[in-house]
Amino acid sequence: MKILLSPAKNLTEQSTLTYERSVPVFEKEAYQLVKDLKKIKKVGLQEMMDISMDLASQNALRFKVWKKASLEPEKAFSAVELFDGEVYRALNVTNIDKSHHPRLNQDLRILSGLYGLLKPFDLIYPYRLEMGTKFSPKPDQKNLYEFWGDKVSKALKKELAKDEIVINLASSEYFKVVRPNVLKNRIITPVFKEFKNGQFTTVMMYAKHARGAMARYLIENPLSDVEALKLYNVDGYQYDDLQSTENEWVFIR
């Protein structure tokens, strides 16, 4: 079973876990992107990324000093520790028992605008580049989806067994880079909803936390049958058969 997550905008530059580090499979492509991002001035980054000037300045500096992690691993961070959004606070990897680290590294994959596809312990540098950004180093491409094409899907497919199931806990923005027709594996997308104002609705902050919590649950409780995931009840969520479809499973509370 493979678990997909999005990266986070918030970053914490720490590296405390001791599991063996690795180099991103698409480090060469990341270098290609950064090489062109370095040419964009702060104002250009601000407009392209729709961010504040302070963030634009911060990321202009990040791109300026960026190097391949394989060349300076001591200055890089494990991806799963660097990202610090609501998803990763719920995943809380620093509190996962070391005995689960091999499974974490084997089963969890992070989709990335800059790096394409990351293993948890891949070494990366702090960056900001959303998958939906309208940027590509190639003039015949309009955005990062076109830049990555089917590369991410093919890399993921190489790691999947024929009948292995993908649990998609990534946001829709990031999952768009995955091409189900290339994978040909079953993909189940959990959706988390809250009862609010007389109806069930997705509240993004809670949904992000729930994605991280479910990812942690799957790492700590490997399932031999994916149907057992319907018994998931962390943080009060329960599977709702009425709102669910074959491959979109709705959990409510």
Q: What is the pLDDT of residue 19?
A: 87
Give bridge partners of residue 188 from the DSSP assignment: 167
Q: What is the pLDDT of residue 70?
A: 67
Identify the DSSP state of 93: G
Q: What is the pLDDT of residue 75?
A: 80
Q: Which one, of 148, 129, 147, lies nearest residue 40 by Cα? A: 129
* Long-range contacts of the stretch 213-218 (C-beta < 8 A, 24+): 213/90, 213/91, 214/167, 214/169, 214/190, 215/3, 215/5, 215/87, 215/90, 215/91, 215/108, 215/169, 216/90, 216/91, 216/92, 216/96, 218/1, 218/3, 218/107, 218/167
Tokens of 116: 């394409």
Q: What is the pLDDT of residue 136?
A: 87
Q: How many CA atoms lie within 13 A of 124 on its CB side?
A: 32
Q: What is the pLDDT of residue 138?
A: 85
User: One digit per residue, pLDDT tens: the chain, 253 residues?
Assistant: 999 999 999 999 887 887 888 999 999 999 999 999 999 999 999 999 999 999 999 999 999 888 776 667 778 899 999 999 999 999 999 999 999 999 999 999 999 999 999 999 999 999 999 999 999 888 889 999 999 999 999 999 999 999 999 999 999 999 999 999 999 999 999 999 999 888 999 999 999 999 999 999 999 999 999 999 999 999 999 999 999 999 999 999 9
Give the separation between CA 85 and CA 61, rounded to whole angstroms: 22
Question: CA 190 from chain center: how many Å?
Answer: 15
Q: Which one, of 96, 142, 118, lies nearest residue 127 by Cα? A: 118
Distance spanning both ends of the chain, measured CA to CA: 26
